Amino acid sequence: MITIFWITILLIAITMGLSLYRGVAGPGVFNRVAAVNIIGTKTIALLVVMGYYFERPYFFDIALLYAMINFIGTLVFAKYLERGELWS
């Protein structure tokens, strides 16, 4: 079973690398924001599987916290790009 977790971690890391190409070469800022949001979502799944691979139960709290940080970060970025300022 540990081998299955190791293969899953490797495959998720490969998909993160594929999304990173869009984050570097996407024309304009919106493609890059979408790529960063996707890498954040994949990080949550990666953290949960790593918690089982290394047999440490504290990774799930970090995954929950990073899910909220990723969500708030994308919302703040989108609000700034729409209005040109954060507080009016």
Partner 1 sequence: MVIVHVVVTALLGVGVFFTLVGSIGLLRFPDFYTRLHATGKCDTLGGGLIILGAMIYHFFEYPGTLLVVAKLAFLIFFIFIANPTATHTIMKAAYKTGVEPWRLGEERR
**Tokens 């990723």 belong to residue:** 70
* CA R_g for the chain: 16
Q: Does position 54 bind partner 1 by CB under 8 A? A: no
65 closest CA partner among 43, 80, 84: 43
CB of 87 to partner 1, least distance (A): 17
Local structure of 80: helix, strand or coil: helix
Let me know if 42 is exposed, middle or buried by CB neighbors in 10 A (0-12, 13-18, 19+): middle
CB of 77 to partner 1, least distance (A): 8
Binder of partner 1 out of 2, 24, 27, 69 (CB under 8 A): 27
Rounded Cα distance between 19 and 1, Å, is 28
CB of 85 to partner 1, least distance (A): 13
Which residues here bind partner 1, judged by CB under 8 A?
A: 1, 4, 8, 11-12, 15, 18-19, 21-22, 27-28, 30-31, 33-35, 37-38, 41-42, 44-45, 48-49, 51-52, 57, 60-61, 63-64, 67-68, 71, 74-75, 77-79, 81-82
